[in-house]
Amino acid sequence: MTTQQGTTPRMTRTQMDALVEGHYRAEEAGDLEAIVEGFTSDAEHDVAGRPGGPLHGGDQIEDFYRGLLAELRIIRFEPVRRWYGEDHVVDEAVLHATAEGRPFGLEGRGRPVRARFLHIFDFRRPPDQPGKRLDRPRRHPAAAVGLSKSASWLADWPAG
């Protein structure tokens, strides 16, 4: 792809897919280091419905995932559909996991969990670095994610 002076090349769908899939594989492997490395240093991670508001930077994101992975063993993400924008991906997937602790405050008791998520991966460049193309998401807001996740989490949570 050719670019004009002062512009940066757009990410291709293949490049975006590789980053999203890499994030999911890191979660499935429980690889905390790879998860955190998948975000830029100024990343924002927002899960609607989670107390405390958006997380900022690697330390807060690492703490969130450390807690999550201690409570929930992620088996796989089942793709549903994916929408592409110029600098972002919206990905709908079904999480298959085992609740080993109290994920999201619900008693797990080793039960299987199936929850539908809507992830938004934002690859926009910071305003102070207009020529830099990102190779990982700067924002991973889950505003719509949490709404979808919360509704399906409760609907799919096994009784008993």
Give all domains of the chain, ordered by start, each with its CATH number. 13-126+134-156 (3.10.450.50)
The residues pairing with 9 across neighbouring beta strands, listed in sequence order, are none
**Is residue 72's pLDDT more than 90?**
yes
Average of pLDDT values for 13-28?
A: 91
Instruction: Output the pLDDT for position 98.
Output: 93
Angle at 35 between CA 34 and CA 41, to 5 degrees: 100
Q: Is 114 exposed, middle or buried (0-12, 13-18, 19+ CB in 10 A)?
A: middle
Q: What is the pLDDT of residues 100-132, one digit of tens each?
A: 988 877 788 899 988 888 888 887 765 555 444
